[in-house]
Amino acid sequence: MSHIEFRDVEVTYKTGLKALKGINLTIPRGQFLVVVGLSGAGKSTLIRTVNNLVVPSAGNVLVDDVDVTAARGRKLRQVRSDIGMIFQTFNLVKRSGVLRNVLAGRLGDVPAWRGVLGAFPREDIAYAHECLGRVGIPEKAFVRADALSGGQQQRVGIARALAQKPSVMLADEPVASLDPPTSHSVMSDLKRIAREDGITTIVNLHFIDMAREYADRIVGMRDGLVVFDGTPNEATDKAFEDIYGRPIDREKDMRGA
């Protein structure tokens, strides 16, 4: 059963740059999809069309058969509150506490006045704590976000996305700012949670070994087009060299576990 569907999606930025040149993908429910490609290939743009942070100039993106591309205002916010997102730079409010950052994930579901006053229902607060527990940092709830290490900050980012009770999770280079061991533990947390909750997940990754290790399916992008679509087993070094359009650099592209 298809959960997310890209139909001839094209994106042309105001600068004239064609970031996506006609993408067609169907992603079944619960799949853990990894998108690989060099920077500038259109990975970030692709992921952002799913929650309409980037509006396609042609084509549509459907989530649960709802056309995200056409959604506006309240409807769009409803769609977005069902889609969690994790960022390369974490995008936490550094001067706020961890719990408040996680609760921000609930803002799409609570009435506006509750959000503005910070008067969340007890269930929501309890759930935020639960999310922190699931990413392994329950004790950090009342610490300021900027007092955490990079790995912990990304865990808060995951907890915030999780607090939305999403059916879709988008992760844009979630480990690019982290060191290799931390990257792996964050990725395995992400995968575990996606599995447990049956969340359909799209992750942009730069590193080959991680894509092979965690993905159910790998999509390779080059120049705004899908140039590879297959299982991790099919994603050989040769396939990656085609995606990258150059020989693989063991040092730069692999990142040893």
Partner 1 sequence: MSDQSHARPLQIPRPPASQVRNRYALLGGAGLSVVLLVVVLITMNLPTWDRVMLGLRRTLPPLWRGFTNPDFELFPLAFNAMMETFYMAVIGTLLGGVLAFALSFLAARNLLGGTARAMPGKALLVAVRTFPEILLAIIFVAAAGPGPTAGIMAMGIHSIGFLGKIFSDVIEGIDPGPLEAINAAGGNQIQVFFFAVVPQVLPEFASNLLYRFEINLRAATILGLVGAGGIGGPLLQRLSFRRWDEISMILIVIIGFIIVVDAISSRVRRQLV
Partner 2 sequence: MAPDRPPQPPVSAGAVAAVPTPPLAGRLKGMLALLIVGAIVVLAYRQTSFDLEALFTGAADFWRFFGRLVPPFSEVGSDWGAYLPELVGPLIETLQIAYVGTFFGTLLAMPLIFLASANTANDPVTMWIARTLLTVLRSIPDLLWAAILVPILVVGPLPGALALTLFSIGILAKLGSETVESADPGPLEALRAAGAGRTATIVYAVVPQVAATMVSYILYVFEINVRASVIIGLVGAGGIGFTLQTRLNFFDYTGVGLIIVVIFAVVLIIDSISVWARSKLI
| C-alpha angle 115-87-211 in degrees, rounded to nearest 5 | 140
Q: Which is nearer to partner 1, 165 or 191 (CB)?
A: 165
Residue 149 binds to partner 2 (criterion: CB under 8 A): no
Residue 161 binds to partner 2 (criterion: CB under 8 A): yes
CA 23, CA 39: separation in Å to the nearest integer?
Answer: 17
CA 257, CA 64: separation in Å to the nearest integer?
Answer: 36
Q: Letter for the amino acid at 212? A: R
* Site residues for partner 1 per CB under 8 A: 97, 99, 121-123, 125-126, 129, 138, 141-142
Q: Which is nearer to partner 1, 113 or 142 (CB)?
A: 142
CA 4, CA 200: separation in Å to the nearest integer?
Answer: 8
CA 8, CA 21: separation in Å to the nearest integer?
Answer: 8
Residue 51 binds to partner 2 (criterion: CB under 8 A): yes
Position among 85, 187, 199, 205 found at the interface with partner 2 (CB under 8 A): 85
Count of residues in contact with partner 2, rule CB under 8 A = 35
Position among 28, 94, 181, 245 found at the interface with partner 2 (CB under 8 A): 94
Q: Residue 39 binds what, of partner 2, partner 1, none (CB under 5 to 8 Å, by partner type)?
A: none
Position among 58, 66, 104, 225 found at the interface with partner 2 (CB under 8 A): 104
Q: Residue 122 binds what, of partner 1, partner 2, none (CB under 5 to 8 Å, by partner type)?
A: partner 1
Residue 81 near residue 98 (C-beta atoms within 8 A): no
Place of tokens 């609760």: 103
Give the start-end residues of each E strand in the chain.
2-12, 18-28, 32-36, 58-63, 66-67, 83-86, 168-172, 200-205, 217-222, 225-230
Residue 64 binds to partner 2 (criterion: CB under 8 A): no
Residues near partner 2 (CB under 8 A): 51, 53, 76-85, 87, 89-96, 100, 104-105, 107-109, 112, 115-116, 157, 160-161, 164, 170
